[in-house]
């Protein structure tokens, strides 16, 4: 399983629209995420900063991400959500959200942390 954390700014003038959209995410968008092996996906808000966390359980991350990008329902969804967001300068080529490196993860109880 791959854990993924991302961040992006929420444009203050679009805050209510973004929150309204995410209060009822379109079923087709959720289905595309499930088909692409995304699980445990959450978006959090702190001030005007969005933080997303998800887990990827598939075998071919690039292919699964391409399937999301090619999904017509997701493309329509992004036409509504993208204007609400402002990328950070370090986001990387062709990306909307900035990926965050994982620097620590709590091991399961009883796991040898030194192994």
Q: Which residues are catalytic?
A: 22
**CB burial string 8-23: b at 16+ within 10 A, e below:** bebeeebeeebeebee
**DSSP letters for 18-71:** HHHHHTT--HHHHHHHHHTTEEEEEEEEETTEEEEEEEE--S-HHHHHHHHHH-
- Asked if 10 contacts 48 with a C-beta cutoff of 8 angstroms, the reply is yes
């Amino acid at each position: 399983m791959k854990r993924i954390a991302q961040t992006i700014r929420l444009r203050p003038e679009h805050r209510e629209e973004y929150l309204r959209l995410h209060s009822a995410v379109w079923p087709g968008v959720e289905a595309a995420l499930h088909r692409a092996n995304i699980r445990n996906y959450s978006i959090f808000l702190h001030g005007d900063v969005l933080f997303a966390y998800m887990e990827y359980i598939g075998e071919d991350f690039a292919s699964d991400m391409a399937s999301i990008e090619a999904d017509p329902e997701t493309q329509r969804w992004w036409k509504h959500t993208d204007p609400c967001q402002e990328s950070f300068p370090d986001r990387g080529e062709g990306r909307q959200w900035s990926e965050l490196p994982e620097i620590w993860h709590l091991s399961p109880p009883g796991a040898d942390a030194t192994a």
